[in-house]
């Protein structure tokens, strides 16, 4: 008997998340993981390494709460937004419950559910990448957690606020609604934060990995009413955040760090507008979808050809051709102005 056969059945059949890093590639322009293109600079201020860290580092929690406009008991800090996804599934789903999500969307909802042995129901987004509320309502039996990503990865659009509110009404007392706001700093006015007051079953996921340019830190947040946060506190690891992580996160959330983040966002949005315009002028491009985030979804005449020819040139993008409805589409993270220019040149050279 081999070791794989000893593992749980759902793990034997599990396809791990195809993260950008796992997919590999040899490049000098990495535009496949929605990372910020330049690293911020921090020095460690806390050098106490012999002690266990604070379970929920107070400075990080308080500063994030102030930034988000909630109180500290509405915040849970975790190892990236990804850990929040898993905590919610582990805390709320019984073995025979299901989660529901709306593809094309972020891959970790399915991977986390499958790793926990929880069934997935899918209700595809409509042709304009919005929720199919009628179908979601029909599928809701046995569903304990509904994941909605807004702005949605990889399509880039916002889910309509009125639809999210209708979803919250529909699920009240039955299921948790997770609104994944990993990219919300690129369109801060769209946050669902204001709905927290009315919906105890709403959980909002945030991260320092995107606009804060700190993907290497592994620091994310769940925002929700205190009762929901307390449930998650029961299942999170005792010391989830290493001392250096919370040290740097606390610095990034100081006023100066927030100003830096907002400046970075403004610059990125200007670069996104340029890249969008330049892509639209290329004959191989069929459509550039509107985006509220730090990436563009682009439909080409022959997406595979564009993807592999840029890959050969060391420009690594994120192929989306296997995602439902996204044939010939590629997701391009916004890079520096120079990197974006290289993308345009490389596509122009394809004949």
Residues that bind ligand PLP (CB under 6 A): 34, 80-82, 106, 149, 153, 180, 182, 205, 207, 209-210, 215, 220
Q: How far is CA 62 from CA 56, 67, 246, in A?
A: 10, 9, 12
Q: Are strands 119-122 and 176-180 parallel, antiparallel or unpaired?
A: unpaired
DSSP letter (8 states) at residue 153: T
Q: Which is nearer to ligand PLP, 81 or 303 (CB)?
A: 81
Q: Phi then psi for 98, rounded to 5 degrees?
A: -135, 160
The residue nearest ligand PLP at its CB is 80
Q: How many CB atoms lie within 10 A of CB 132?
A: 15
Minimum Å gap between C-beta 99 and ligand PLP is 14
Q: Which run of H or E residues covers position 48? A: none
Minimum Å gap between C-beta 350 and ligand PLP is 28
Half-sphere exposure of 135 (CA within 13 A, CB side): 12
Q: Are strands 119-122 and 98-101 parallel, antiparallel or unpaired?
A: parallel
Minimum Å gap between C-beta 80 and ligand PLP is 3
Q: Which is nearer to ligand PLP, 204 or 279 (CB)?
A: 204
Q: Which is nearer to ligand PLP, 137 or 163 (CB)?
A: 163
Q: Which is nearer to ligand PLP, 31 or 182 (CB)?
A: 182
Q: Which is nearer to ligand PLP, 80 or 240 (CB)?
A: 80
Instruction: Take residue 81 and report the two structure tokens written for it.
Output: 């937004």
Minimum Å gap between C-beta 312 and ligand PLP is 26
Minimum Å gap between C-beta 214 and ligand PLP is 9
Instruction: Take residue 152 and report the two structure tokens written for it.
Output: 């949605």
Minimum Å gap between C-beta 44 and ligand PLP is 21
Q: Which is nearer to ligand PLP, 140 or 182 (CB)?
A: 182
Helices and strands in the chain, H and E counts = 13, 13
Minimum Å gap between C-beta 109 and ligand PLP is 9
Q: Which is nearer to ligand PLP, 49 or 239 (CB)?
A: 239
**Structure-token match 């969008």, residue found:** 276
CA distance 94 to 56: 26
Q: How far is CA 153 from CA 6, 26, 107, 208, 274, in A?
A: 35, 24, 9, 16, 21
């Amino acid at each position: 008997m081999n070791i794989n056969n000893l593992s749980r059945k759902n793990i034997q059949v599990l396809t791990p998340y195809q993260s950008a890093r796992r997919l590999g590639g040899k490049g000098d322009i990495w535009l496949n993981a929605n990372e910020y293109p330049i690293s911020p600079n921090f020095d460690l201020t806390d050098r106490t390494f012999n002690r266990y860290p604070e379970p929920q580092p107070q400075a990080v929690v308080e500063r994030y709460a102030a930034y988000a406009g909630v109180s500290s008991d509405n915040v849970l800090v975790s190892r990236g937004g990804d850990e929040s996804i898993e905590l919610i599934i582990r805390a709320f789903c019984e073995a025979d419950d299901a989660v529901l999500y709306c593809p094309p969307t972020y891959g970790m909802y399915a991977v986390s559910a499958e790793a926990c042995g929880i069934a997935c129901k899918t209700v595809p987004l409509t042709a304009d990448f919005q929720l199919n509320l009628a179908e979601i309502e029909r599928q809701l039996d046995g569903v304990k957690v509904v994941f909605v990503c807004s702005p949605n990865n990889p399509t880039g659009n916002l889910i309509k606020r009125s639809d999210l509110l209708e979803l919250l009404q529909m699920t009240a007392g039955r299921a948790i609604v997770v609104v994944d706001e990993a990219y919300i700093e690129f369109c801060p006015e769209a946050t669902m934060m204001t709905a927290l007051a009315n919906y105890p079953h709403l959980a909002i996921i945030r991260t320092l990995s995107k606009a804060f340019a700190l993907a290497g830190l592994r620091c994310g947040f769940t925002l929700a009413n205190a009762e929901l946060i307390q449930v998650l506190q029961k299942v999170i690891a005792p010391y989830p955040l290493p001392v250096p992580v919370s040290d740097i996160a606390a610095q990034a959330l100081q006023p100066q760090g927030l100003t830096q983040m907002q400046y970075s966002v403004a610059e990125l949005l200007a670069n996104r507008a340029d890249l969008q315009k330049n892509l639209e002028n290329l004959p191989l491009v069929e459509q550039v979808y509107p985006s509220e985030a730090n990436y563009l979804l682009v439909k080409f005449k022959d997406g595979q050809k564009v993807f592999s020819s840029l890959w050969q040139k060391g420009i690594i993008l994120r192929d989306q051709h296997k995602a439902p409805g996204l044939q010939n589409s590629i997701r391009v993270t916004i890079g520096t102005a120079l990197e974006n220019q290289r993308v345009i040149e490389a596509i122009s050279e394809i004949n």
